[in-house]
Amino acid sequence: MYEKLVLYIDGNFIETEGRKTEPVFNPASGEIIGQLPHATREDLDRALAAAQRAFETWKKTSPVERSTILRRVAELARERAEAIGRNITLDQGKPLAESVGEVNVCAEHAEWHAEECRRIYGRVIPPRRPDVRQFVLREPVGVCAAFTPWNFPFNQAIRKMVAALGSGCTLILKGPETAPSAVVALARLFHDAGLPAGCLNIVWGVPHEISEYLIKSPIVRKVSFTGSIAVGKQLASMAGAHMKRGTWELGGHSPVLVFDDANVDQAATMLAKLKIRNAGQVCVSPSRFYVQSKIYDRFAERFTKTIGSISVGDGLEKATQMGPLAHARRVDVMEAFMEDARAHGGEVVIGGTRLKSSGFFFPPTVVTGLPDNAKLMTDEPFGPIAPLVPFTDPEDAIRRANSLPYGLSSYVFTESLKTATYAANALEAGMVNINHFGSALSETPFGGVKDSGIGSEGGTETFDGYLVTKFVTHV
């Protein structure tokens, strides 16, 4: 049984009840598995009113009380991980182990925020006169509107929920219409954990209609979006026009620099597995591979061998290591990338054409021989395609890595501390992973620079976007 899809407004789960609906597909088979109700204007108004009313009480709750609810969410998430994970595989496509893993890892986000929200401190500033007392308070900004994507439907949504609620804000969230079950499951988790009505509201609909309505509402004080750069810029402009704060977690095109002195076999094997995770639909997926010339052939061979051994199939099958792409249009996008790669003289070493199936499958693909202006080298593929190119001069590799407007994640493989330090300092990225993948833990900040976004989720930075600073001085 797939999740019963509902809206969640002011503590009530609301079924279709005559509303417009949209079909949800299983990307492994192309079959319809559910119908998602769209929020009406009245639903959005009720969600706004509920979030505004709930904020007046929630902002005054003790951090200990908020912490208790977030901890309970973590416990319930672990208890329900198998069932929630299965539904994520059904509507998003990733292998079951990855879906269940996503839920379990995210339970930690709830725990981290439960701990960290008890440490939202202000400060005392030494006065210029002995009779003055002056201090800085950090207060929740107010009602937040959040928009989350389909690639990690549980992860992206819970990160925004726990940061907003942990800081004392209330929230209206629109999740991904193509993979909605995880967000509905989250509403049930918070509801069952005892979150007061109105603190969290879940709505669905036509994305740009909902975001425009919510962002323009005077009730909303902060916007948080994870998704593409193009949409992020539109929403950020709208938020700016209405003087709303924003957290923007946008796309990336992560460069990978593999130097001559790297542990080549280890790097190639690890990177191939990382590349096909979630079928490459990961904003921090390694996606442009610059490999130093002495080890290029060996790296390419080992990388291709590993990626070629990956079994592709329905995420519910035990043997599957990579599932389908999340929706049909992603397969079209992969084909467009490949057409451009061929036109630019790229050699397709493995993969390269859609798999004949009723589902939305594209195989792990390796392309070599591309010039820097090929689309695969300039645009985020967000899929299982890896372009490999050689470099000789480290400075040139850094220049090419930094040459795009993206600045999310980056990867460096070297056994030299000097090279590692040089690259870590020179790369224009919000995250630098050296000889391993270590991003996205609850205690570490996750976010980008340049077009990849503004603000961080996770780490001690996590509440910064949800708090305003108030200065108080008195004699």
Show which residues are catalytic: 249, 283
Structure tokens given for 385: 């395609």
Shorter beta-carbon distance to ligand NAD: residue 202 or 250: 250
Task: For helices 229-241 and 207-216, give the axis angle rounded to 10 degrees.
Answer: 30
176 interacts with ligand NAD by CB under 6 A: yes
Least distance between ligand NAD and beta carbon 205 (Å): 10
The span from the CA of 173 to the CA of 176, in Å, is: 10
Which of 155, 211, 254, 306 touches ligand NAD (CB under 6 A)?
A: 211
Q: Which residues of 162-199 are buried (b: 16+ CB within 10 A; e: fewer)?
A: bbbbbbbbbbbbbbbbbbbbbbbbbbbbbbebebeebb
How big is the site for ligand NAD, counted in residues (CB under 6 A)? 20
Least distance between ligand NAD and beta carbon 125 (Å): 38
151 interacts with ligand NAD by CB under 6 A: yes
380 interacts with ligand NAD by CB under 6 A: yes
The span from the CA of 175 to the CA of 171, in Å, is: 12
Residues 219-248 that bind ligand NAD (CB under 6 A): 226-228, 231, 235
Per DSSP, the chain holds a count of helices (H) and strands (E) of: 13, 20
Task: For helices 181-192 and 153-167, give the axis angle rounded to 10 degrees.
Answer: 30
Which of 220, 250, 279, 404 touches ligand NAD (CB under 6 A)?
A: 250
Alpha-carbon distances of 75 from 7, 72, 81, rounded to whole Å: 23, 5, 10
What contacts 399, CB < 8 A, 6 or more positions away?
Answer: none
Instruction: Using alpha carbons, select from 256, 280, 275, 307 the residue that is nearest to residue 382.
Output: 280
Shorter beta-carbon distance to ligand NAD: residue 150 or 466: 150
365 interacts with ligand NAD by CB under 6 A: no
Least distance between ligand NAD and beta carbon 256 (Å): 18
207 interacts with ligand NAD by CB under 6 A: yes
Least distance between ligand NAD and beta carbon 179 (Å): 8
Q: What is the DSSP string of 415-441?
A: S-HHHHHHHHHH--SSEEEESS-----
User: Rounded to 5 degrees, what are φ and ψ at 376?
Assistant: -65, -25
Shorter beta-carbon distance to ligand NAD: residue 43 or 195: 43
Which of 93, 149, 363, 394 touches ligand NAD (CB under 6 A)?
A: 149
Site string (260-289) toward ligand NAD, x via CB under 6 A: -----------------------x------
360 interacts with ligand NAD by CB under 6 A: no
Binding segment toward ligand NAD, per CB under 6 A, in 16-24, 99-107, 145-153, 314-322:
145-153
Structure tokens given for 76: 């319930």
Shorter beta-carbon distance to ligand NAD: residue 208 or 298: 208
Q: In 151-224, where does DSSP find H-type helix? A: 153-167, 181-192, 207-216
Alpha-carbon distances of 445 from 111, 171, 432, 456, 462, rounded to whole Å: 15, 21, 12, 6, 7
Amino acid at 391: F
Binding segment toward ligand NAD, per CB under 6 A, in 47-55, 249-257, 342-350, 384-392:
249-257
Shorter beta-carbon distance to ligand NAD: residue 47 or 398: 47
Shorter beta-carbon distance to ligand NAD: residue 109 or 138: 109
251 interacts with ligand NAD by CB under 6 A: yes
Q: In angstroms, how far is the first alpha carbon of the chain from the final one?
A: 64
The footprint of ligand NAD (CB under 6 A) covers 147, 149-151, 176-177, 207-208, 211, 226-228, 231, 235, 249-251, 283, 380, 382
